[in-house]
Structure 1
Amino acid sequence: MNFNGSIDFRPKLVSALKNYSADKFKNDLVAGIVVGIVALPLAIAFGIASGVSPTVGLITAIIGGFIVSAAGGCTVQIGGPTGAFIVIVYNIIASFGLEGLAVATFMAGLILVALGFFRLGTVIKFIPYPIVVGFTAGIALTIFSTQINDFFGLGLKNVPSEFIPKWGAYISNFGNIDWVTLCVGLAALAIIIVTPKVSRRLPGALIAIIIVTAVVAVVPGISVETIGDRFGSLSTDIPQPHGFELNMATINRLLPSAFTIAILGAIESLLSATVADGVTGTRTNSNTELIGQGMANIIVPFFGGIPVTGAIARTMTNITNGGRTPVAGVVHAIVLFLIFLFLMPLINLIPMACLAAVLIVVSYNMSGWRTIRSIFHNPKSDISVLAVTFLLTVIFDLTIAIEMGLLLAVILFLRRVMENTEIKAYSGQLDIDEGSEMAHHEVLDVNPGVEVYEIDGPFFFGVATKFDELMRSSMGRKPLVRIIRMRKVPFIDSTGIHNLETLIKSSQEEGIHVVLSGVKENVRTALVNAGINRLIGEDHICSHITKAVEMANRIAPASSTVSAANA
């Protein structure tokens, strides 16, 4: 993490075009067309599941996908609406309306740009994996739950948004199943499952939509709800940019949701980019990628769009079909735009049960049940984080799940650090090479009036309290010198400095010298800034333990007795 220097914004499209060729364009063109076709049913389905119209889903994929490819830091990333946002978008619309969604998405874009400007792209990758798995599985179950009504044709008009009441409504209305709708959904589901076994290059969702829509339209007697029935005739007019009200009251209400969108978008896009890098051998500029994602989310709301992020399934489709530069992503956006202009009337004919089947498969793929099974062999703390994040996502909402999951992960991490940070006390003799693999260890004689304490790990607030308790427990023995060995302290925080300062002052009041040994440069800088060097004396901060012991032995010569300090 580096807050200094110029802004780390270097779009991959710019560098890709410097040595571009006809062969590269041919590969990108083919890949872009295929990805555009694959993205069509997903954009429509994600739009509808999020509580907006299919048109909004397409507009988001067109504008967001174009900006992510043009301004992002990954060579093959495909951006657009994704299943991960369905839950949060639906809840925002339910609570704050479409304008509230626009404000939250815009603010999330600003947060993403800020993360990129402050070079925090690499930090986002360190979000604990159990949290990612937990909320992804929770989102998958929630998406699956939202599709039951359309898949079974229950005909419910006002389905509760909460998970438990929703399933209560489903169970009480399962006697109203429309068997024709269910058969249409099952047929679409079967096609989606079977298609990859025939050819992995064929987009199963699109094949299912084409076949099932054609059969429903041609065969007489099949009457099921379609997109046109629910949303009316879809417009092919390009949406005009429009503004929205932004004030402090709105910001305060929507900031938690905006934060959730930003963090979720950052995690998903950078995970997608990391997977893509592993396949293509390229290297994503994480900070540029976040800025590109942020720009997409800043612009999309002005056209009525929903949040945008990198989509791993579409990105892998791009790679599989030969895409190697951001031009493929730009082509994908153009293909969707042409479909939007010329084929929207046909989209009206798609059965809702067919889209429900598409999203059921998406939710299954998102669930990561194999990963969850493997995590259950990990430490209990990982299982706890996963379980809490999953349950909070399903029962409450994603905002609470991410916040509480991060908090729990931080607490468990601090506990692990405290458990692994050792504070050892020595007297009499000191093996200065203890813990090393050296064949011959140097042993120093420590005079009776000297005690040595070694801190092995970061000296932050939790460890500072642990060290303070150890020192208090040894206050009954009052040595003439206390050596604090800090060779293995990588950093010290304000609490550690405060506790160290308190120890030095209380020791000096009792006539006890405190000597610091092996202080690293960054830790020494922190101590100097806090004035510890003036308090303890520059000569009492030694570069090596041998110098510290020599000084301590001079202060407390072997002929003196410890009782002199207790007099």
Structure 2
Amino acid sequence: MLAGLQLQHLRRDFISGITVGIVAIPLGMAFAMASGVKPEYGIYTTIIAGLIVSLLGGSRFQIAGPTGAFIPILLAVVLQYGYENLLIAGFMAGTFLVLMSFLRIGNLVHYIPRSVTIGFTTGIAVIIFTGQLGNLFGLNGMAQKQYFHENMLEFFQHLPTLNLYSLGIASIGIVSIVLIPKIAPRVPVLLVALLLPTFVSILFFPSQLDTIGTVFGGISQSLPTFHLPNITWTKINQLWGPAFAIASLGAIESLLSAVVADGMTKEKHHSNRELFGQGIANMITPLFGGIPATGAIARTATNIKSGAATRLSGVIHSIFVLLTLLLFAPYASHIPLAAMAPILMYVAWNMSQIKTFKALLKRKNSDSLVLVVTFLLTVFVNLTVAIPIGLLLAVLSFVKKKSELLQLQQEESFQQKSLDDNWSIHYKIFTIKGPLFFGTAQTFEQAIAHKLAGNPKTLIIDMTDVSLIDATGEEKFTIFVTTAQQNGYTILIAGLPNWGIELFQQSGLFDQLGMDAFFSDVDHAKQVVLEAS
């Protein structure tokens, strides 16, 4: 599992593992709290899922853990079903991911349109960002709601309870995030943005702010214990929808993260192995109280930039987070929630891909429509609705674009003057270009109908440039041929590729027309017609 490990790699993996571990600790706690659960559950997830994915995943440099993309789904599950059922949903999501790996559908994730991924990613970013406004301003009595508009209404209703101490502490975090990368780019900015405001609050106004300790009761300084969730058929029936949404989003994000790692390292990940590793991680993590996890793009990139050489860097990252939990957990209770808010807002801003969103929006085409619909549904409804509808719109857009590629035109007719000065038309040639499938079948049927009127009774159909024929297209073409034959026409097929001939053989159309009706090219078909006339 740690193939390729050499002594000279150990130092690089050690440094990168600790570096990404430092980044992962505040993120793990922040993502857990934003998901409506205790911060230590995010730490448990970072440790367990990070270790398993590093050993079993399909990318050598993948760092897994809780991510911002999961926050809306997990929070909705917690609010509707409770934390215990979130563990069941996470376990089921892991099962789905393992099934996906065995079904070898890892590569299919890459076919999700960019307009859909940018739409729901930006929508998630908006939810995360606005979800931290309460902690940023230190508002009292705000309740977490399932829907965006409900949370915004809560925010404005409680705005009069503004806590200037919280706003001041959050401002220190924001300034740290903005300035530290410019002054000291090698310093772990998120850790400083967490610790500096915390020290200031402890020194100057320790009792004026909500902290992890006052809200969540502190963080346990112990290893997570094994606990088997009470899984029943009723709960499976309730949770399969959210579980599948978690699995789908986890698959998308983990494979996108692996693709980013490939681009940075010039290596190639194994998609189905990655899904398997993610699945096992999400099946085991809930047994120790952890929340769903996936490959984290920012942490994976940090791992690579820090010099990671092998999978050992991810293992060291998990061990480092575990040791930090055992040694320093009690001190985490003093962290103000206002210090966590800028970190999550920073993550939301980075994942929003606002420049790409604006660029797609300016196109004012079907991609823009898919983008906006996916974004709005993500923000105002949820991901389980946004992604399927976004994909459906993208498919319909694709079908429409493909249907416009079909061309049907009369290329040529041959006329000959007889001894009595009458012209006789021996044949007409019609050319079909493009795909003949369910999206273009109706266009073909309407365009070809009037072609059967009049003479001649021999039609040469040039299918050299037909790129696709599906079952619907084959059915419409068969109907056309049958109708033409019933009206006394002779149909000749020219230039049909071998795959098309095999299709017509399987459907029976080849036997209906007869072997003599198929020609390698149009010239051959014309010659046979003229010789027979």
Give the TM-score range, shorter chain: over 0.9
- Whether the 8 Å CA contact 1:490–1:523 is kept in 2: the answer is no
Find out whether 1:487 has 2:460 as its counterpart.
Answer: no
Which position in structure 2 is the counterpart of 1:462?
439
Which position in structure 1 is the counterpart of 2:331?
346
Q: Deviation of residue 246 (structure 1)? A: 4.5
Q: Deviation of residue 173 (structure 1)? A: 2.2
Map 1:138-537; keep pairs closer than 5 Å: 138-220=123-205, 223-246=208-231, 249-428=234-413, 448-537=425-514
**Cα–Cα, structure 1 residues 486 and 245, in superposed 2: closer, same or farther, change >3 Å?**
farther
Q: Deviation of residue 554 (structure 1)? A: 4.8
CA displacement 1:365-411 (0-9 Å, x = unmatched): 11111111222332511111111111111111111111111011111
Find out whether 1:538 has 2:515 as its counterpart.
Answer: yes
Which position in structure 2 is the counterpart of 1:130?
115
Q: Per the alignment, in what secondary structure is the counterpart of residue 70 of structure 1?
A: helix
Q: Whole-Å Cα distance in 1 between the matches of residues 230 and 491 of structure 2?
A: 61
- Whether the 8 Å CA contact 1:478–1:512 is kept in 2: the answer is no
Q: Deviation of residue 546 (structure 1)? A: 3.0
AA of the residue aligned to 1:549: K
CA displacement 1:454-493 (0-9 Å, x = unmatched): 3322221121111111111323235423333333333321
Q: Whole-Å Cα distance in 2 between the matches of residues 508 and 302 of structure 1?
A: 68
> Structure 1: which 4+ aligned runs deviate by more than 6 Å?
none
AA of the residue aligned to 2:505: V
Question: TM-score scaled by structure 1?
Answer: 0.88
Q: Deviation of residue 240 (structure 1)? A: 3.0
Q: Deviation of residue 95 (structure 1)? A: 1.9
**Cα–Cα, structure 1 residues 113 and 473, in superposed 2: closer, same or farther, change >3 Å?**
farther
Q: Whole-Å Cα distance in 1 between the matches of residues 310 and 463 of structure 2?
A: 49
Percent identity of equivalent pairs: 38
**Cα–Cα, structure 1 residues 526 and 118, in superposed 2: closer, same or farther, change >3 Å?**
farther
Q: Whole-Å Cα distance in 1 between the matches of residues 513 and 329 of structure 2?
A: 77
CA displacement 1:481-540 (0-9 Å, x = unmatched): 333333333332111121122122212211222223323333333322222222222332
- Whether the 8 Å CA contact 1:105–1:301 is kept in 2: the answer is yes
Q: Deviation of residue 36 (structure 1)? A: 0.6
CA displacement 1:154-213 (0-9 Å, x = unmatched): 112424332122212212221210111111111112112211112332221111212222
Map 1:96-135; keep pairs closer than 5 Å: 96-135=81-120
More displaced stretch, 94-103 vs 324-333: 94-103
- Whether the 8 Å CA contact 1:149–1:156 is kept in 2: the answer is no
AA of the residue aligned to 1:326: R
Which position in structure 1 is the counterpart of 2:72?
87
More displaced stretch, 487-496 vs 349-358: 487-496
Q: Per the alignment, in what secondary structure is the counterpart of residue 427 of structure 1?
A: strand
- Whether the 8 Å CA contact 2:142–2:155 is kept in 1: the answer is no
Q: Whole-Å Cα distance in 2 between the matches of residues 245 and 489 of structure 1?
A: 56
- Whether the 8 Å CA contact 1:485–1:518 is kept in 2: the answer is yes
Q: Whole-Å Cα distance in 1 between the matches of residues 233 and 519 of structure 2?
A: 53
Q: Deviation of residue 84 (structure 1)? A: 0.5
Q: Whole-Å Cα distance in 2 between the matches of residues 128 and 477 of structure 1?
A: 47
AA of the residue aligned to 2:458: V
AA of the residue aligned to 1:122: N
Q: Whole-Å Cα distance in 1 between the matches of residues 230 and 459 of structure 2?
A: 63
RMSD: 2.1
Q: Per the alignment, in what secondary structure is the counterpart of residue 439 of structure 2?
A: helix
CA displacement 1:288-340 (0-9 Å, x = unmatched): 22222222222222222222111111111111110132111111111111112
- Whether the 8 Å CA contact 1:180–1:222 is kept in 2: the answer is no
- Residues paired across the two proteins, number: 525
- Whether the 8 Å CA contact 1:427–1:448 is kept in 2: the answer is no
Q: Whole-Å Cα distance in 2 between the matches of residues 514 and 156 of structure 1?
A: 78
Question: TM-score scaled by structure 2?
Answer: 0.93
**Among candidates 23, 40, 52, match of residue 8 of structure 2:** 23
**Cα–Cα, structure 1 residues 381 and 206, in superposed 2: closer, same or farther, change >3 Å?**
same
Q: Per the alignment, in what secondary structure is the counterpart of residue 35 of structure 1?
A: helix
Unpaired segments ≥5 residues, structure 1: 1-13, 430-446, 558-567
